[in-house]
Amino acid sequence: MTDTITAASAPGTAVADLAIESTGLAKRFGGRPAVAGIDLAVPAGSVYGFLGPNGSGKTTTIRMLVGLIRPSAGGHRLFGQPMPVAAPGVLGRVAALIEGPAFHPYLSGRANLRRLDAADMFADRRTAASRVDAALDRVGLLAAARKPYRAYSLGMRQRLAIAACLRTPRELVVLDEPTNGLDPQGTREIRSLIADLHAGGATVLVSSHLLSEIEQMCSHIGIMSAGRLVAQGPVGQLRAAAGPARVDVDTARPEDAVRVLAACGLTDPAPQPGGARALLGDVDVETIVPALVQAGVPVTGFRVTRPSLEDLFVGLTGEGFDVR
Q: Interface with ligand ADP by CB under 6 A: which residues?
A: 29, 34, 52, 54-60
Query: Between residues 161 and 264, which has the closer beta carbon with respect to ligand ADP?
Result: 161
Which of Mg ion, ligand ADP, none sits in contact with 160, Cβ below 5 to 8 A by type? none
Q: Which of 285, 224, 220 has its CA nearest to residue 249? A: 285
Query: Between residues 98 and 247, which has the closer beta carbon with respect to ligand ADP?
Result: 98
Check if the beta carbon of residue 222 is closer than 8 Å to that of residue 234: no
Contacts of residue 305, Cβ cutoff 8 Å, sequence gap at least 6? 245, 246, 247, 248
Residue 40 and residue 207: Cα distance in Å, rounded?
13
In whole angstroms, the minimum distance from the beta carbon of 265 to ligand ADP comes to 43
Query: Between residues 34 and 174, which has the closer beta carbon with respect to ligand ADP?
Result: 34
Contacts of residue 80, Cβ cutoff 8 Å, sequence gap at least 6? 15, 16, 18, 21
Question: In 3-state terms, the chain is what percent helix, strand and coil (to 5)?
Answer: 40, 30, 35
Which of 46, 56, 59, 187 lies at the binding interface for Mg ion (CB under 5 A)? 59
In whole angstroms, the minimum distance from the beta carbon of 255 to Mg ion comes to 53
Query: Between residues 34 and 161, which has the closer beta carbon with respect to ligand ADP?
Result: 34
Which of ligand ADP, Mg ion, none sits in contact with 56, Cβ below 5 to 8 A by type? ligand ADP
Which of ligand ADP, Mg ion, none sits in contact with 228, Cβ below 5 to 8 A by type? none
Which of ligand ADP, Mg ion, none sits in contact with 55, Cβ below 5 to 8 A by type? ligand ADP
Check if the beta carbon of residue 113 is closer than 8 Å to that of residue 132: yes
Question: Which H/E stretch holds residue 95?
Answer: strand 94-97
Which of ligand ADP, Mg ion, none sits in contact with 20, Cβ below 5 to 8 A by type? none
What residues pair up with 276 in beta bridges, in sequence order?
249, 271
In whole angstroms, the minimum distance from the beta carbon of 64 to Mg ion comes to 13
Residue 208 and residue 210: Cα distance in Å, rounded?
5
Query: Between residues 59 and 317, which has the closer beta carbon with respect to Mg ion?
Result: 59
User: Helices 109-118 & 154-164, crossing angle to 10 degrees?
Assistant: 30
In whole angstroms, the minimum distance from the beta carbon of 62 to ligand ADP comes to 8
Q: Site residues (CB under 5 A) for Mg ion?
A: 58-59
